[in-house]
């Protein structure tokens, strides 16, 4: 910008001097090239007071023209610098007022464009950070809600029975739920999106058995059932808390939006383990099916739960897919542990 200011000043001064000096130079050359007789007549005509007045008026006129031309040039150059500054200040003010996007300024002035680029990158980073914080808060809310719901169901069972054996059994399940809730909190606090090659080996039978114990009261209350079948003694590579959350989300989704028996089948397919979830409901609307894992989809078909379950599956080296819409069948693909 310093260079631009110097150029602007020199341009204004140069135009002023050119308007003042060029006509005088031309007049001198013209006079010098005139024949001697005409030159003597011109000199005689401009001698005395009349000549002084003519030359003074000419110099003043040229000076005024030079100043006017310099002022016009200076104004244009000032606008070339001032307008980008004003626009940059306005965009920065909108950014400070909460506007999430900052369009970079292309002014041709290196210093201003660099400032604009820095503001643009900062705005994008702030937007990404805010989005990540909102996603984390939503994910944390959903991950905590499922074990809390299961814990509440167990406490309801305890409160509604006088059978000491049932109370002890339900209390043990409730304790397991509290331990799982504690692990969910620990998992959230140390959450990372980086793939972990040291994922532990988890018994799928144990996770499915725990899942059935947790959701049995909810299915009984709605007079529905859950059927778990398929190959036994399967082990997968996954974080236990994440695997339980993925499967719980699919069970919860089937309970809320499906009908009849929820069928859960596990099987091998090459190096992968596939867990399929189906029910006897009408299935997923074809209009919503392509977007069912998007966070923006309403809870009428999926909502945050399926989006979070898909992210957790990917974080554990697997994937979650809707393999059939009518009837609805979701499949979880995970790597088999050795």
Domain total in the chain? 2
Whether 197 and 305 share a structural domain: yes
Closest to 278 in 3D by CA, of 304, 302, 256, 251: 251
Distances (CA, A) of 93 to 1, 88, 90, 333: 22, 9, 5, 49
Whether 93 and 200 share a structural domain: no
- Looking at residues 217-242, what average pLDDT do you find? 90
pLDDT reading at 196 higher than 60: no
- Asked whether residue 134 is domain-assigned, the answer is no
Whether 208 and 328 share a structural domain: yes
> What is the overall mean pLDDT for the chain?
75
pLDDT reading at 209 higher than 70: yes
Distances (CA, A) of 56 to 27, 71, 87, 198: 14, 22, 46, 94
Residue carrying the six token digits 């604009």: 116
pLDDT at position 33? 66
- pLDDT tens readout for residues 107-131: 666 777 777 777 777 777 666 666 6
**Domain-ending residue, one of 36, 66, 99:** 99
β-strands 329-335, 272-278 pairing: antiparallel
Domain that holds residue 247: 192-335
- Asked whether residue 32 is domain-assigned, the answer is yes
Whether 200 and 79 share a structural domain: no
Whether 202 and 77 share a structural domain: no
The half-sphere exposure of 337 on its side-chain side, counting CA atoms within 13 A, is 16
The helix/strand/coil state of 38 is helix
- Asked whether residue 203 is domain-assigned, the answer is yes
Whether 198 and 325 share a structural domain: yes
CB distance 310 to 319 below 8 Å: yes
Measured distance CA(145)–CA(151) in Å, rounded: 10
- Asked whether residue 114 is domain-assigned, the answer is no
Question: Would the CA dihedral through 131, 137, 141, 142 be positive or negative?
Answer: positive
Whether 95 and 213 share a structural domain: no
Structure tokens at 262: 């929820």
- Asked whether residue 158 is domain-assigned, the answer is no
Distance of CA 332 to the CA centre of its chain: 27
Closest to 138 in 3D by CA, of 180, 191, 99: 191
**Domain-ending residue, one of 99, 132, 152:** 99
pLDDT at position 45? 59
Structure tokens at 58: 């000419």
CATH code of 301's domain: 3.30.565.10
* Band of pLDDT at residue 267, cut at 50, 70 and 90: very high
Whether 199 and 72 share a structural domain: no
Question: Both ends of the chain: CA-CA distance in Å?
Answer: 65
CB distance 261 to 280 below 8 Å: yes
Give residues with Cβ within 8 angstroms of 314, minimum separation 6. 320
CB distance 158 to 171 below 8 Å: yes
Query: Greater confidence, 190 or 35?
Result: 35
Measured distance CA(293)–CA(306) in Å, rounded: 6
**Domain-ending residue, one of 43, 72, 99:** 99
- Asked whether residue 152 is domain-assigned, the answer is no
- Asked whether residue 122 is domain-assigned, the answer is no
- Asked whether residue 186 is domain-assigned, the answer is no
């Amino acid at each position: 910008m310093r260079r631009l200011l110097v150029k602007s000043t020199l341009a204004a001064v140069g135009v002023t001097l050119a308007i003042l000096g060029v006509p005088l130079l031309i007049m001198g050359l013209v006079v010098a090239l005139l024949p001697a007789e005409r030159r003597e007549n011109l000199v005689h005509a401009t001698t005395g007071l009349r000549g002084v007045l003519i030359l003074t008026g000419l110099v003043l006129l040229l000076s005024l023209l030079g100043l006017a031309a310099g002022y016009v040039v200076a104004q244009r150059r000032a606008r070339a610098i001032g307008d980008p500054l004003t626009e940059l200040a306005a965009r920065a003010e909108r950014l400070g007022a909460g506007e999430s996007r900052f369009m970079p300024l292309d002014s041709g002035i290196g210093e201003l464009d660099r400032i604009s680029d820095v503001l643009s990158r900062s705005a994008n980073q702030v937007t990404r950070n805010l989005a990540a914080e909102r996603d984390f808060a939503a994910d944390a809310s959903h991950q905590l809600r499922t074990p809390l719901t299961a814990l509440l169901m167990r406490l309801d069972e305890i409160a509604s029975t006088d059978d000491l054996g049932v109370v002890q059994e339900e209390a043990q399940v409730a304790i397991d739920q509290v331990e799982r809730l504690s692990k969910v909190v620990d998992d959230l606090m140390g959450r990372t999106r980086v793939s972990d090659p040291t994922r532990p080996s988890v018994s799928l039978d144990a996770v499915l058995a725990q899942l059935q114990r947790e959701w049995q009261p909810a299915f009984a209350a709605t007079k529905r059932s859950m059927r778990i079948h398929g190959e036994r003694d399967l082990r997968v590579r996954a974080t236990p808390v994440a695997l339980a959350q993925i499967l719980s989300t699919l069970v919860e989704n089937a309970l809320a939006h499906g009908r009849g028996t929820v069928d859960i089948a596990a099987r091998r397919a090459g190096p992968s383990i596939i867990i399929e979830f189906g029910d006897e409901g009408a299935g997923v609307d074809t209009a919503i099916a392509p977007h069912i894992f998007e966070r923006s989809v309403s809870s009428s078909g999926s909502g945050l739960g399926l989006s979070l379950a898909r992210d957790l599956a990917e974080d554990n080296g697997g994937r979650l897919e809707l393999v059939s819409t009518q009837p609805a069948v979701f499949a979880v693909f995970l790597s088999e542990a050795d």
